[in-house]
Amino acid sequence: MCCSSRPLWLSLPFLFIVFLGRSQENLTAYWQPSLAINYGVTETYSHNFSLQNRNYIFEEEELQLNVRHLDLVHFSNLQLQDNQSIAFGVLYRFREGFDDGTNELRLTQQYNITSKPFVVRYGQRWRTEQRITSARTTHRFRYRFSLDFPLQGEKLDVGEAYFVGNAESLLSIANGSLPQYDARLTLNLGWRLSDTSKFQFGVEYRTEDFSQDLQHVLFFLSALNVSL
Amino acid sequence: MLLKSPTFVILLFFCVASFGQKKQEQEFRIDKKELPDGVMALLSNYLDNAKRLRYYKERDGEKSSYEVKFKKDKLHYSIEFDEKGVLEDVELLIKQTDIPNEPFGKMTQYLKSNHNKYRIKKIQRQYVNTGDAAQTLKEAFQNRILPKLRYELIIATKDENGYGEFELTFDANGEHLLTRKAVKTKYDHVLFQ
């Protein structure tokens, strides 16, 4: 197996962190592990269940390890064509008891389309969300462009590594608040562990509310994905 | 305690990954020097101005094969060799309009009668080596329409079993030769991330 031609990909997340660490006063960093299970219900309809939690690891210029919240997520996905799907999702965020935030119910509607001219697969995803808390309902609109490809050939075989990169723009609107614009950039490295499981880790950089009160948020991500 | 858990997960993952590599069909990129002797010499006349030159090895149990892929004069070539470096075939990515009307009509008829709904994703013209490797390469790079060539189609389908992907081979007259089910690549790990 050859992997000598890919050292650049392995170093990208680290270069990214060094770049970010240079001058971020408003920087918050989290570690967010997740576990997801996917399975087909019919030939065109499938379920996704996931559990994820978010932990503060850097806030107010201090290193720490404190749980922020726990998310339980479900998506019902319907394949429209071989490369297109729609999905409806429900998320419940348990935050009360972990920090001083409130719990949240989130409803998501999603449309996704992919294309794969050669080795790289491109994906475009549109989402609308209703984030419901006891204080307000926030409507969020998201667009994400993704690309993913195997790192050791043209096919992702068992035991091989892959790369997933995402760029996403978000607009949040709520009664009594000014619109909030966010942007996210995510780089992930993953491995196909078996026919049904993948493990990936990566970093995500978010600039939040960049038109009013700019915040920089850095995520260290790890995920185990089971697809039955 | 929590900080120790990622190390455990990573160790566990490497154990599982190394188990997983056994008994699996595997295709991966290799260096030029890992190709069997004679492959590069055979191709040397055709690689001037070649772009995106890549070398791959495929292992399926005891059997290995090699592939050289590149783009030349706006055309995508894929040249396959057996484990001893003997040329197997040359494949060239083409468009629907590059197939003469009569054979394409027959192919369409076959697709319509065997699949409720289909979409052609990719078409390749295939020059199979029947003994003279140099001649096969010459014919392929001259892009000649010959009675012995074949067409390979990748199609996405929808039928009572849901969405699928198939690889079909037709002869130069559009007669169906072979159908193989292609393995669909999963997208869950990107879709809901």
For residue B116, the model assigns a pLDDT of: 87
For residue A26, the model assigns a pLDDT of: 76
Whether residue A120 is contained in a domain is answered as yes
- At residue A150, does pLDDT exceed 70? yes
For residue A97, the model assigns a pLDDT of: 87
Q: Which of A149, A184, A151 is nearest to B28 (CA)?
A: A151
Whether residue A204 is contained in a domain is answered as yes
Mean pLDDT, all residues of chain B: 86
Measured in whole angstroms, how far is the alpha carbon of residue A82 from the centre of its chain? Answer: 23
B62-66: long-range contacts at Cβ-Cβ below 8 A with a sequence spacing of 24 or more? B66/B30, B66/B35, B66/B36, B66/B39
Are B188 and A36 within 8 A, CB to CB?
yes
Whether residue A103 is contained in a domain is answered as yes
Q: In order of start, what are the domains of chain B with their CATH numbers?
A: 23-85 (3.10.450), 91-193 (3.10.450.40)
Whether residue A140 is contained in a domain is answered as yes
The distance of B112 to chain A (nearest Cα, Å) reads: 17
The distance of B158 to chain A (nearest Cα, Å) reads: 8
Give the pLDDT band of residue A19 (cuts 50, 70, 90).
low
Q: Which of A11-20, A211-220, B22-31 has the highest mean pLDDT?
A: A211-220
pLDDT digits (tens, 9 = 90+) for B15-51: 444 444 444 568 899 999 999 998 999 998 899 889 9
For residue A84, the model assigns a pLDDT of: 95
Looking at residues B63-70, what average pLDDT do you find?
A: 93
* β-pair partners for B167: B154, B180
Q: Which residue in the set B6, B13, B187 is minimally distant from A193, CB to CB? A: B13
Number of Cα atoms under 13 Å in the Cβ half of residue A48: 26
Among B88-92, B128-132, B183-187, the minimum mean pLDDT is found in: B183-187
Residue B102: its H or E element: helix B101-114
Structure tokens at A128: 């609308």
Looking at residues A189-207, what average pLDDT do you find?
A: 95
**Chain B residues closer than 8 Å to A77 by CB:** 191
Backbone φ and ψ of A12, nearest 5°: -60, -50
Are A188 and B165 within 8 A, CB to CB?
no
The distance of A9 to chain B (nearest Cα, Å) reads: 15
Q: Which residue in the set A81, A85, A154 is minimally distant from B56, CB to CB? A: A154
Q: Which residue of B has its CA nearest to A42?
A: B162
Are A191 and B13 within 8 A, CB to CB?
yes
Structure tokens at A134: 């006891």
- At residue B6, does pLDDT exceed 50? no
Choose the mutation target among A154, A163, A224 for the interface with B, i.e. most B CBs under 10 Å: A154
Give the pLDDT band of residue B129 (cuts 50, 70, 90).
very high
pLDDT digits (tens, 9 = 90+) for A48-103: 999 999 999 988 777 888 899 999 999 999 999 999 999 999 999 999 989 889 99
Residue A100 belongs to domain spanning: 7-29+96-227
For residue A199, the model assigns a pLDDT of: 97
β-bridge pairing A180-192 and B75-82? unpaired
| Strands of the sheet with B63-72, listed across from one edge | B26-30, B51-60, B63-72, B75-82, B87-94, B117-128, B150-159, B162-171, B176-181
Number of cross-chain residue pairs from A and B with Cβ atoms under 8 Å apart: 124
**Chain B residues contacting A, CB < 8 Å?**
2-3, 6, 9, 13, 16-18, 20-21, 24-31, 34, 56, 76, 119, 156-158, 160-163, 165, 185-193
Whether residue A108 is contained in a domain is answered as yes
Are A65 and B193 within 8 A, CB to CB?
no
For residue B96, the model assigns a pLDDT of: 92
Total structural domains in chain A?
1
For residue B13, the model assigns a pLDDT of: 46
Q: Specify the CATH number for the domain of residue A119.
A: 2.40.160
Q: Which residue in the set B21, B30, B187 is minimally distant from A2, CB to CB? A: B30
In whole angstroms, give the CA distance from residue A3 to residue B21.
15
pLDDT digits (tens, 9 = 90+) for B153-168: 999 998 888 888 999 9
Whether residue A170 is contained in a domain is answered as yes
For residue B61, the model assigns a pLDDT of: 76
For residue A60, the model assigns a pLDDT of: 76
For residue A11, the model assigns a pLDDT of: 61
pLDDT digits (tens, 9 = 90+) for A171-189: 999 998 999 999 999 999 9
For residue B1, the model assigns a pLDDT of: 42
For residue B24, the model assigns a pLDDT of: 55
The distance of A48 to chain B (nearest Cα, Å) reads: 8
Looking at residues B172-187, what average pLDDT do you find?
A: 91
